[in-house]
Amino acid sequence: MIAAPKWLPYGLRSKWDTARINAAVTDLRHATSRAATPPESAAAEIHMLVCKRDVRLAGLSLLSLFRYELPLAVTITEDGSLSANDRAWLDRLIPGARWLSRRVEDPTFQQILQSYPRLAELYAGDYHPICKLLHPICLGHNERVIVLDPDTVFFQYPKLLSEWVAGFDSRDYYLHDHQDEATAVPESVRTAFVQLADITSRYGQPWSLEYYFFNSGLLWYRRNRMNLHVAEAYLTWRLEQTHALRSGKSAIWFGDWTPEQTGYMAMFATADPTPAPLPEEYWLGGGNGHAFNHFLRHYLIQSETQQRIHQLAKTL
């Protein structure tokens, strides 16, 4: 399909772009199923939050990793927009995946949330990404977790991830952007993080994260190293900040769409031992030659990206 005309209203362009992406991976209907490993025998557990728009991408992402036959369990949280057919489509590709609803009513989980009112408020509201933070930590079946977004693809064998899955590497890892942070990070953001580091470090280690452009599209970690008190402290601090800090470019960190990501960032920054940034073979954005890409919508709608995922879908 050709790209949507720029004169179309945003809503129509978005639907057009989604249709183009789905058309690019239509060959997944012929793909070989790859079963998830049962939780009791899995080395780690993948957690993925999926909306209706990203169902096909989620299938591509999971199959692109599962072709390497790593012993991984899978838990999929659906945001309430999926149909029975959507779930059946993913179940055919990844048999044995566990499903969680947008709001889990498990009494033990609800009791945990009582200790974190800011997190609980987000969970009870319409901010779906909070499930990416709470479900793996509170509802995971395995101590080791891989958080994976659906707009991601493994194009090559992920050696570092496979070594971690096999137990040869015990560090936690996070994805990050490769912008020039010396020029791309506003001074107001740097000042804000000094304040935030002082507050959150009271619940963990001194702030030690190497990058500002932290990204939660791919994380792997041990659940017992993630301190929800740190995420709660961040959310409390955020509500006290000015509108200017929560908008514009600084919204990348402190806006209304990133509380989950910056909550994770704060937990990683104060974790013990210090987590490590993923190397360049794990890439945020477009471009060839990487083992892994987290494309984001901006790159997914580009013809070059769609050609690449089309070829991969045919291979799978």
- Give pLDDT, residue 132: 98
Predicted confidence band of residue 10 (pLDDT cuts 50, 70, 90): low
Residue 36: what are its φ and ψ, rounded to 5°? -70, 150
- Give pLDDT, residue 22: 85
pLDDT at residue 12 greater than cutoff 90: no
Residues 49-68 have a mean pLDDT of: 97
Residues 209-223 have a mean pLDDT of: 97
Predicted confidence band of residue 257 (pLDDT cuts 50, 70, 90): very high
pLDDT at residue 4 greater than cutoff 70: no
pLDDT at residue 18 greater than cutoff 70: yes
Q: What is the dihedral of CA 300, 306, 308, 312, to 10 degrees?
A: 100
- Give pLDDT, residue 204: 86
Q: Which residue has the tokens 């709608």?
A: 301
pLDDT at residue 24 greater than cutoff 90: no
- Give pLDDT, residue 79: 96
pLDDT tens readout for residues 143-171 = 999 999 999 999 999 999 999 999 999 99
Mean pLDDT of all residues in the chain? 94
Predicted confidence band of residue 7 (pLDDT cuts 50, 70, 90): low
- Give pLDDT, residue 17: 76
Residues 120-137 have a mean pLDDT of: 98
Category of 117 on φ-ψ map: left (φ > 0), alpha (ψ -120 to 50) or beta: alpha
- Give pLDDT, residue 68: 97
- Give pLDDT, residue 16: 66
Predicted confidence band of residue 91 (pLDDT cuts 50, 70, 90): very high
Percent of the chain with pLDDT over 90: 89
- Give pLDDT, residue 190: 96
Rounded alpha-carbon distances, angstroms, from residue 288 to 64, 179, 275, 309 = 16, 17, 27, 11
Least confident stretch, 79-88, 217-226, 256-265, 301-310: 301-310
